[in-house]
């Protein structure tokens, strides 16, 4: 079993690390606090080809292996987790379009999505339906060669920049079970009746917008039905969220790494009673625990990513990695804050932002409590084992 990165993966990581250190780390705190949109950082990610991570090479993308995919999110989240969100929703959507779209849909959108000339996201969640996606109320009624879409979506990342925006709808609200009546439509931003109505205020996860989207009698051509067949929308979305859980796990590793870096640097520099606080046993214990959690989360995340590269179904593995890494990120942020003492609570230090960003990792792409149920069912049914 080889836990080492390939030469190509190491070069990719080092290129990303250099970009993050030069373009993200120096401005993250100031821009996050002022609410400034990171336009220049987005342009830099375009130049690196990062918007094409999940796009096949024949459409101009990087077609990155899943470990490299995770490395991108770890490194960017280490600099500023909100920036990783811009890339995350885009990549999940690109993966879904590449796997499930018709050839016409792929040819129309993927080349521009790969370069960042177009950007995208994914509209699943509603005010009354988050984890329970079968409970959505957004409908798409067939009218000749079009669908007429009505509904509201919430917490949509990239909503003000997504074109097209894949929207989960009910094409047959009476279907039993409900998922058989669910589909995904690729809604273009210029469609009359499509409106981004509000940016939702958040504790953390800043740098990217999270919005309410209202669709009022939006006319969408039937050719924009993902894959061209009704009733497959929920499966299309859930299969793509496997990559989403890898990116959340990797973002969590990035947060944990930055928490460790900040704690280690502070423990070396801060003095008390005439010596660095890192020489006190209580601080040593916390620092060691952060390092253990970080490395365990990293190994689990890249184990799950490597399983996906082997071509096996890995919803259990990605769920495990996402659960573990996200909870370790929060614990690492808390322990790093404790090492910082009062300064950890100050907006002049990085750790308070990490503390605000970390909790989202246990919520996004399926809450950890729900994922525990998914993992348990797979184990009880024999579809997954731990040995």
357 contacts 204 by C-beta, under 8 angstroms: yes
Q: What are phi and psi of 294, to 5 degrees?
A: -60, -50
**E-strand spans in the chain?**
139-143, 146-157, 165-170, 182-187, 194-199, 210-221, 271-272, 275-276
Q: What's CA 171's distance to the chain center, in Å?
A: 27
Q: Is 127 helix (H, G, I), strand (E, B) or coil?
A: coil
Q: Which of 230, 242, 262, 365 is catalytic?
A: 365
Single out the residue of 120, 121, 24, 117 nearest to residue 74, CA to CA: 24
The verdict on whether 284 is a catalytic residue reads no
Q: With the CA atoms of 33, 35, 38 and 40 taken in that order, what torsion angle do they form, in degrees rounded to the nearest 10?
A: -90
Q: Which residue has the tokens 């309410």?
A: 212
**Number of other CB atoms surrounding residue 18 within 10 Å:** 11
Cα gap 91→97, rounded to integer Å: 10
Cα gap 154→126, rounded to integer Å: 5
Cα gap 3→10, rounded to integer Å: 12
Rg (CA), the chain: 21
Single out the residue of 27, 26, 7, 72 nearest to residue 45, CA to CA: 72
190 contacts 152 by C-beta, under 8 angstroms: no
The two most distant CA atoms of the chain are separated, in Å, by: 80
DSSP character string of 184-219 = EEEE-TTSTTEEEEEEPP-SS--SS-EEEEEEEEEE
Cα gap 321→303, rounded to integer Å: 8
Cα gap 311→62, rounded to integer Å: 18
**Residues classed as catalytic:** 365
């Amino acid at each position: 079993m080889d836990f080492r990165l390939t030469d190509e993966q190491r070069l990719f990581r080092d290129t990303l690390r250099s970009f993050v250190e030069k373009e993200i780390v120096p401005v993250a705190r100031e821009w996050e606090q002022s609410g400034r949109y990171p336009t220049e950082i987005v342009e830099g990610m375009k130049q690196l080809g990062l918007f094409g991570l999940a796009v096949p090479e024949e459409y101009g993308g990087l077609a990155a292996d899943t470990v490299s995919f995770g490395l991108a999110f770890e490194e960017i989240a280490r600099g500023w987790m909100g920036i990783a969100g811009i890339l995350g929703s885009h990549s999940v959507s690109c993966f879904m379009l590449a796997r499930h779209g018709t050839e016409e849909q792929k040819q129309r959108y993927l080349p521009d999505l790969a370069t960042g000339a177009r950007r995208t996201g994914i509209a699943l969640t509603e005010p009354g339906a988050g984890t329970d996606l079968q409970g959505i109320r957004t409908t798409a009624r067939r009218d000749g060669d079009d669908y007429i879409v009505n509904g509201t979506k919430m917490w949509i990342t990239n909503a003000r920049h997504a074109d097209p925006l894949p929207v989960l709808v009910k094409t047959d609200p009476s279907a039993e079970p409900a998922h058989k009546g669910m589909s995904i439509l690729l809604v273009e931003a210029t469609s009359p009746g499509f409106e981004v109505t509000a940016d939702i205020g958040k504790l953390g996860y800043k740098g990217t917008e999270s919005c309410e989207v209202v669709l009022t009698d939006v006319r969408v051509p039937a050719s924009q039905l993902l894959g061209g067949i009704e009733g497959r929308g929920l499966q299309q979305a859930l299969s793509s969220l496997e990559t989403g859980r890898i990116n959340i796990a990797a973002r969590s590793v990035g947060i944990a790494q930055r928490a460790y870096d900040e704690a280690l640097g502070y423990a070396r520099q801060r003095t008390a009673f005439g010596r660095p606080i890192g020489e006190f046993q209580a601080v040593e214990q916390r620092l060691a625990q952060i390092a253990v959690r970080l490395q365990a989360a990293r190994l689990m995340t890249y184990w799950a990513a490597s399983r996906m590269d082997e071509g096996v179904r890995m919803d259990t593995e990605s769920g495990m990695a996402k659960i573990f890494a996200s909870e370790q990120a929060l614990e690492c942020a808390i322990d790093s804050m404790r090492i910082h003492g009062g300064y950890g609570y100050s907006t002049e230090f990085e750790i308070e932002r990490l503390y605000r960003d970390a909790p989202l990792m246990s919520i996004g792409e399926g809450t950890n409590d729900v994922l525990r149920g998914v993992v348990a069912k797979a184990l009880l049914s024999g579809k997954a084992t731990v040995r």
